[in-house]
Protein backbone atom coordinates (compact mmCIF):
# COMPACT_ATOMS: atom_id res chain seq x y z
CA UNK A 1 0.00 0.00 0.00
CA UNK A 2 1.39 3.37 -0.98
CA UNK A 3 -0.18 6.59 0.19
CA UNK A 4 -0.29 9.50 -2.19
CA UNK A 5 2.91 11.55 -2.05
CA UNK A 6 2.93 14.36 0.45
CA UNK A 7 -0.13 13.11 2.32
CA UNK A 8 -0.33 14.34 5.88
CA UNK A 9 -3.66 13.81 7.53
CA UNK A 10 -4.93 16.70 9.56
CA UNK A 11 -8.36 15.07 9.68
CA UNK A 12 -9.23 13.01 12.71
CA UNK A 13 -11.86 11.10 10.74
CA UNK A 14 -11.89 9.80 7.21
CA UNK A 15 -14.86 8.34 5.40
CA UNK A 16 -14.58 5.02 3.61
CA UNK A 17 -14.10 6.72 0.23
CA UNK A 18 -11.19 8.81 1.51
CA UNK A 19 -9.57 5.78 3.12
CA UNK A 20 -9.97 3.82 -0.12
CA UNK A 21 -8.56 6.67 -2.18
CA UNK A 22 -5.58 7.31 0.12
CA UNK A 23 -4.72 3.66 0.70
CA UNK A 24 -5.55 2.14 -2.68
CA UNK A 25 -7.64 -0.49 -0.86
CA UNK A 26 -11.10 -1.02 -2.34
CA UNK A 27 -14.09 -0.13 -0.14
CA UNK A 28 -15.26 -3.75 -0.37
CA UNK A 29 -11.89 -4.89 1.02
CA UNK A 30 -12.15 -2.32 3.82
CA UNK A 31 -15.56 -3.70 4.76
CA UNK A 32 -14.15 -7.23 4.62
CA UNK A 33 -11.20 -6.26 6.85
CA UNK A 34 -13.67 -4.73 9.28
CA UNK A 35 -15.77 -7.90 9.29
CA UNK A 36 -12.60 -9.91 10.02
CA UNK A 37 -11.75 -7.55 12.91
CA UNK A 38 -8.58 -6.17 11.31
CA UNK A 39 -9.84 -2.58 11.29
CA UNK A 40 -12.73 -0.85 13.02
CA UNK A 41 -14.91 2.03 11.94
CA UNK A 42 -15.64 4.69 14.53
CA UNK A 43 -19.16 5.36 13.33
CA UNK A 44 -21.10 6.57 10.35
CA UNK A 45 -21.87 9.85 8.68
CA UNK A 46 -25.09 9.10 6.89
CA UNK A 47 -24.52 5.72 5.28
CA UNK A 48 -20.75 6.08 4.98
CA UNK A 49 -18.44 4.41 7.46
CA UNK A 50 -16.01 6.71 9.24
CA UNK A 51 -12.51 5.69 10.30
CA UNK A 52 -9.90 7.28 12.53
CA UNK A 53 -6.89 8.53 10.55
CA UNK A 54 -4.82 5.81 12.27
CA UNK A 55 -6.56 3.22 10.10
CA UNK A 56 -4.02 4.07 7.39
CA UNK A 57 -1.22 2.69 9.58
CA UNK A 58 -3.29 -0.43 10.20
CA UNK A 59 -3.73 -0.85 6.45
CA UNK A 60 0.02 -0.48 5.95
CA UNK A 61 0.56 -3.28 8.46
CA UNK A 62 -2.03 -5.43 6.68
CA UNK A 63 -0.22 -4.81 3.36
CA UNK A 64 3.11 -5.77 4.94
CA UNK A 65 1.57 -8.89 6.49
CA UNK A 66 0.14 -9.89 3.11
CA UNK A 67 3.59 -9.54 1.54
CA UNK A 68 4.97 -11.72 4.33
CA UNK A 69 2.43 -14.39 3.44
CA UNK A 70 0.01 -14.04 6.34
CA UNK A 71 -3.59 -15.03 5.71
CA UNK A 72 -6.34 -12.69 6.89
CA UNK A 73 -7.10 -15.10 9.73
CA UNK A 74 -3.44 -15.12 10.78
CA UNK A 75 -3.37 -11.32 10.63
CA UNK A 76 -6.01 -11.15 13.33
CA UNK A 77 -3.26 -12.08 15.81
CA UNK A 78 -1.56 -8.78 14.93
CA UNK A 79 -4.50 -6.73 16.23
CA UNK A 80 -6.40 -6.57 19.51
CA UNK A 81 -10.19 -6.91 19.80
CA UNK A 82 -10.63 -3.19 18.96
CA UNK A 83 -8.57 -3.51 15.78
CA UNK A 84 -5.57 -1.72 17.28
CA UNK A 85 -2.07 -2.92 16.45
CA UNK A 86 -0.90 -5.49 19.02
CA UNK A 87 2.02 -7.37 17.51
CA UNK A 88 2.56 -11.01 18.44
CA UNK A 89 6.36 -11.12 18.42
CA UNK A 90 6.51 -14.92 18.57
CA UNK A 91 4.28 -15.17 15.50
CA UNK A 92 6.35 -12.55 13.69
CA UNK A 93 9.63 -14.31 14.55
CA UNK A 94 8.25 -17.61 13.28
CA UNK A 95 7.17 -15.99 10.00
CA UNK A 96 10.58 -14.31 9.63
CA UNK A 97 12.25 -17.72 10.11
CA UNK A 98 9.92 -19.22 7.50
CA UNK A 99 10.79 -16.40 5.09
CA UNK A 100 14.51 -17.04 5.69
CA UNK A 101 14.04 -20.70 4.73
CA UNK A 102 12.06 -19.70 1.65
CA UNK A 103 14.74 -17.18 0.64
CA UNK A 104 17.43 -19.87 0.95
CA UNK A 105 15.41 -22.19 -1.32
CA UNK A 106 14.96 -19.37 -3.83
CA UNK A 107 18.70 -18.69 -3.77
CA UNK A 108 19.34 -22.37 -4.57
CA UNK A 109 16.87 -22.21 -7.44
CA UNK A 110 18.43 -18.99 -8.75
CA UNK A 111 21.93 -20.45 -8.55
CA UNK A 112 20.77 -23.57 -10.38
CA UNK A 113 19.20 -21.50 -13.14
CA UNK A 114 22.30 -19.33 -13.49
CA UNK A 115 24.47 -22.43 -13.73
CA UNK A 116 22.18 -23.87 -16.41
CA UNK A 117 22.62 -20.70 -18.44
CA UNK A 118 26.42 -20.75 -18.16
CA UNK A 119 27.03 -24.53 -18.09
CA UNK A 120 29.63 -25.61 -20.68
CA UNK A 121 28.34 -29.21 -20.88
CA UNK A 122 26.24 -30.07 -23.97
CA UNK A 123 23.65 -31.76 -21.72
CA UNK A 124 23.01 -30.44 -18.23
CA UNK A 125 22.65 -33.87 -16.66
CA UNK A 126 26.23 -34.65 -17.72
CA UNK A 127 27.51 -31.72 -15.68
CA UNK A 128 28.79 -32.80 -12.23
CA UNK A 129 28.10 -29.38 -10.72
CA UNK A 130 24.53 -29.34 -12.01
CA UNK A 131 23.91 -32.88 -10.73
CA UNK A 132 25.21 -31.74 -7.33
CA UNK A 133 22.78 -28.79 -7.40
CA UNK A 134 19.92 -31.17 -8.18
CA UNK A 135 20.87 -33.56 -5.39
CA UNK A 136 21.26 -30.82 -2.77
CA UNK A 137 18.18 -28.85 -3.70
CA UNK A 138 14.83 -29.32 -2.03
CA UNK A 139 12.76 -28.45 -5.05
pLDDT tens for residues 74-91?
988 888 777 678 888 998
| pLDDT tier, 33 (very low <50, low <70, confident <90, very high otherwise) | very high
Long-range contact set of residues 30-33: C-beta below 8 Å, sequence gap at least 24:
32/72, 33/59, 33/62, 33/72
The structure's pTM equals: 0.72
**Cα end-to-end span (Å), the chain:** 32
Amino acid sequence: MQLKAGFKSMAKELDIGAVARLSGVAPSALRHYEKKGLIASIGRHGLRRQYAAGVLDQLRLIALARLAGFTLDEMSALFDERGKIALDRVLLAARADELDRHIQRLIQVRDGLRHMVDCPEPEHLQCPQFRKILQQGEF
